Structure 1
Amino acid sequence: MAREIEIFLSLTLIFSTIWACKDGQVDQLTARQGLDGFLNANSYPTNSWMFPYYYNIQPQSPFAGYANSYEGRIPFNRKPPGYFANINADYYNSQEGRLGFGWWKPVRHPVAKPECVQQCRPVPQFLDGQAVPVLRAESAASMFQNSNILSPIDVVNACGNNATRNNTYWQSPSTSVSSPCSLTVHLDNKLAQQASPICQIRLDFVSFTTAPPTAGTCTDSSFTVEGATTVAPTICGVNSGQHMYLDVPSSATTPTDVKLIFKFATGTATPSWNIKIAMLPCGATYLAPADCLQYFTSATGKVKSFNWQDAAGALQLNNQNYNICFRTELVAGARATQMCVKPCTVTLGNAFFLTGAGAGPLTGTAADTCSYDFLAIAGGFDPVTGAFFDRYCGSALNTASVCTKIRPFKMTFGTDASEPTAAVTAAPPAIPVSAIVDTANTGFCLDFQEK
């Protein structure tokens, strides 16, 4: 009898241990306690059944001055996890090394990053010359047949292809390219790869180098966007690190094809690009405001016109008419009340040079001297003298910095279709005011800071 009791107790211990190890409860206990402490300190609920991905929770108390959570600042309040998600995905791990018998072997499941909205499996592609796992929508069964770590990216390095997945990278082909070279971003809520209706696309120019403009016009090479509600300007030159937000009709009601097009003349330098394409769902808190081609979501940073470079000979582009918007951030626990900009520190280039031949700063008010190429800052003022100006042009800002208290913070950059090589006399209404000669205008680079 004692022998039977001993066997019974041994089996009970074994199965109790297996049950305790289920879903990694033993291994995750220490991490769980530490995370709960952090979440409690920051006013988050700690529902154990939601650990460790809090996609849909909200802070228990809104920030001061806000009815709801602050402008999508919390990265976990999205459904499904979207463009900016960067959270722990240990939930997707099944416990390894469980106790068992001779015929039982531990199973290792793939680690799916949180951006991976659908069940997926990796398919080798090439990114920067090396094989990487690529997101593919597949069945759950297919997902568990491969033990590689998944990466939520799809890579296209050819012309004439379609993109239907979030976080697609479009890279310039490694072989010779014929003009035009295009990629069609197909948005349709009926596609399995697009779980939520899409209302906006964000393009991140990870790298972007084409032939420079000629007198401000992209003649030898160009990048254009077709099919979006947003009218994006034609750009060329060097635009690595820049971005664009493109509004589109909701893909739930209107399937849309947005075409990205590179054109280049025969004999020009081979263009090179790597563009990340993010599909942003309708209603997401991180969408850019309407009619904002660029949108910055930090209290400090740099904002640059397209093709601005800290290099000699870089030229500003013609026909650049777009809004640059800034999210109102929390500064010292309260909403920022003003934003100030000042020229970037440069070594070879010019941080602000929009019109003229280097004669000095110009500002425009009612008697507008910045009619053709200008940077407009509504409510802009000199923080030292208090003088107000709405438009800025010339070869420098008229002061060390320009501030505005008008929220939401926004700037408008406008250039006309040419860089005059001779003075232009006013002839209203076609030419409302005289224009001066433009010589090697470079655009702008400004440091911004919300206060």
Structure 2
Amino acid sequence: MEFDFHGKVFSVFSIVTFNNNPCQSSSSTSSGNSAFRNGTCFTNNECVAKGGSVQGSCASGFGVCCVFVISDVSRTISENCTYIQNPGFPTPLTTSTALSYSVAKSSNDVCFLRLDFESFSLQGPADTLETSGGVCTDTFVVTTQTGQQIPTICGQNAGQHIYVDIGNQASDTATLAFTFTGSSSNRQWEIKVSQIPCGANFAPSPGCLQYVTGLTGRLTTFNFLDVTGSSHLASTQYTQCIRQEAGFCCIRYQVCGDANSFSLDTTMMAAAAAAQTDNTCTLDYLGIEGATQQCQVGSGGSTTSERFCGNFFSTQSAGTANSIVCDCSPPFAVTVRTDAMQDANAATQPNRGVCLMFDQIPC
């Protein structure tokens, strides 16, 4: 139907279209890195049909910010930016029934998942000694058809994230599985599952379980937040990568101000209380290829190290003080490696893991 007003024709029917872009919802998170949950911009009818929740508006008011939250015992996830919560969230889960979620691609061009642990509390290792291999009491295990090796995760990990290579075939999936042992009153999680297209400029570099951006930041090993008597996780081997920013050529690392911010077992000897490097680090260690004390490109002659362990972070083996460690050989990466052997000196020397602050140094 059309009307003529002073020679101009107007239609009473108009179709408004908009992209299904990410949006910030009005739904606030209880913890983690984000104040508000992310959603996807849909029409109200589309959001309801997809099983989402309307949490705010988008597209200049023509769309709604649709948030997807799953708190059932087991489900298949097929929408980008879906939040998985424990049943009854934010109340902790007290049952010990295993839970498993399957992630299907929201579109055929998806190659990666990013899992953000907005909230994550499971029972960690039973003690600080890695007794019986340091097995996690509860477990969170991610498996894919690509064969990517992802460590078993447990303990306190709010604010952590991991990238998952889900594969490049349209039918590829990933499985997120929780298992529990015994009773507990601290099992609680909210994990944001984001899907990343193949070749996207925000996709992780190959081999990076964690990938961070920015001029400054903080890297921690899994379960570092647990200060109640647990330890770093056993049997892990993964890489934390830092994107090199334009005009910056070095990364400067130093330990955080938290207690025991660098405590990784070395060998069965008293020297574990000191800094250890390279060949003396054969069990649990941190790897930074070509690390030096000089934060300057081409600083020849300076001491270089590639492995760090013990109770101090330094390029000086047997040192008893933390120091600044630099890496001027991109790509920038920190490798974490822990074994399943009982830690030496754990009764007197904590093995909390690692917390490092980093900043990028201009060329």
Name the TM tier (shorter chain): 0.7 to 0.9
Counterpart of 1:122, as a letter, is C
Match of 1:403 among 315, 323, 326: 326
Preserved CA contact (<8 Å) 1:125 1:132: no
Partner of 1:102: none
Match of 2:46 among 96, 121, 134: 121
1:96-130 CA-partner distances (Å, limit 9, x unpaired): xxxxxxxxxxxxxxxxx99437996333999xxxx
Preserved CA contact (<8 Å) 2:53 2:68: no
TM-score by length of 2: 0.76
Partner of 1:224: 141
Preserved CA contact (<8 Å) 2:156 2:226: no
TM-score by length of 1: 0.62
Rg (Cα) greater in structure:
1
- 1:321, distance to aligned residue in structure 2 (A): 0.2
Counterpart of 2:48, as a letter, is V
Partner of 1:343: 255
Partner of 2:54: 133
Preserved CA contact (<8 Å) 2:217 2:358: yes
CA distance in 2, matches of 1:124, 1:213: 42
CA distance in 2, matches of 1:168, 1:114: 8
Partner of 1:165: 79
CA distance in 1, matches of 2:169, 2:41: 20
2:207 is the counterpart of 1:284: no
CA distance in 2, matches of 1:235, 1:402: 28
Partner of 2:263: 353
CA distance in 2, matches of 1:345, 1:245: 27
- Relative contact order higher in (CA < 8 Å, ≥ 6 apart): 2
Preserved CA contact (<8 Å) 1:352 1:397: yes
Counterpart of 1:197, as a letter, is D
Match of 1:208 among 104, 120, 131: 120
Change (3 A) 1:272 1:437: closer
Partner of 2:65: 151
CA distance in 2, matches of 1:182, 1:271: 15
1:145-167 CA-partner distances (Å, limit 9, x unpaired): xx896224311101221101100
SS in 2 for 1:122: helix
- 1:378, distance to aligned residue in structure 2 (A): 0.4
SS in 1 for 2:304: coil
CA distance in 1, matches of 2:76, 2:206: 26
SS in 2 for 1:250: coil
SS in 2 for 1:389: strand
CA distance in 1, matches of 2:311, 2:228: 15
CA distance in 1, matches of 2:243, 2:343: 36
CA distance in 2, matches of 1:224, 1:287: 22
Partner of 2:337: 414
CA distance in 1, matches of 2:44, 2:289: 47
SS in 2 for 1:121: helix
Identity across the alignment (%): 29
Counterpart of 2:323, as a letter, is A
- 1:350, distance to aligned residue in structure 2 (A): 1.3
Match of 2:231 among 315, 322, 325: 315
SS in 1 for 2:6: helix
CA RMSD in angstroms comes to 3.6
Preserved CA contact (<8 Å) 1:301 1:449: yes
Preserved CA contact (<8 Å) 1:315 1:443: yes
Preserved CA contact (<8 Å) 1:152 1:167: no
- 1:447, distance to aligned residue in structure 2 (A): 0.5
SS in 2 for 1:276: strand
- 1:223, distance to aligned residue in structure 2 (A): 0.8
- 1:228, distance to aligned residue in structure 2 (A): 4.7
CA distance in 2, matches of 1:388, 1:120: 60
